[in-house]
Structure 1
């Protein structure tokens, strides 16, 4: 059975929140380079541990025990690499979930804002239509009063003309009569 070495003390495994904070501060390329360097260190440490295991296996072989095949260890994924892949996949899932939540919140806010604008506009149109109808009714009433006043003015003007003509003829007769008396 292959011996699994614990991570060396100079390598610290970051929690997902620390990783997400670091990932948010760095670009994708920097994160990938960091992961590759970390994997390289882990691989180097793992290879060093494998060399020690091989020495132990050779020593055990000299004592009569069976050798472990290095191909079995090579076919199994490195636990640290698998942990990093899992962390990346989980982080990707969390990011996608957050994006969906933000997009849904945006769509909901957009829809509610659009509804509020539409209802406010409809209310404004209703109140403006009421005010417009009241103004139109008042305008019609004023036009009716104007027409009635103009009709009355025309009647009075006609009466004044008639009175003027009557009085001017009466005045002419008086003047003619006076002229006849003076002659």
Structure 2
């Protein structure tokens, strides 16, 4: 099974879990902002941000970077790797922070508490998914030495209808 056939289904599942976390975080934040006198916890707000960041990351990793940001160069691979690994860190920080917050509550009941607990579980799965694609990305960049002729997410520019980009030689190479 090639890397191309693995990454796209993982991206779809990442998108689904991002939408689930977005909906649950929005529900819990709305409950806090309308029912209590305090604003929603920063842990919930952070997971809301993380899910939005993930959706934007999926869009950029699958559409924008391969087509518009230096295709066929090492720079696009490092940009994609940075986006990928930032998601790994954000998801981990988000689900751990919310789990710690929920563990310190004096009481937790009702649908809002269950939604927050489900938010932790879905965020943990989101972290595992981003870790899996991050490992695949790191392996690809390390295996090829970072200087790949095709983007690390496995699409060739020929299939995307893009012309190859020539990198000018430096003074040392001439």
Q: Give TM-score, length-normalised by structure 2.
A: 0.32
Higher relative contact order (CA 8 A, sep 6+): 2
Flag the structure with higher helix content. Answer: 1
Q: Give TM-score, length-normalised by structure 1.
A: 0.31
Task: Tell which structure's C-alpha radius of gyration is larger.
Answer: 1
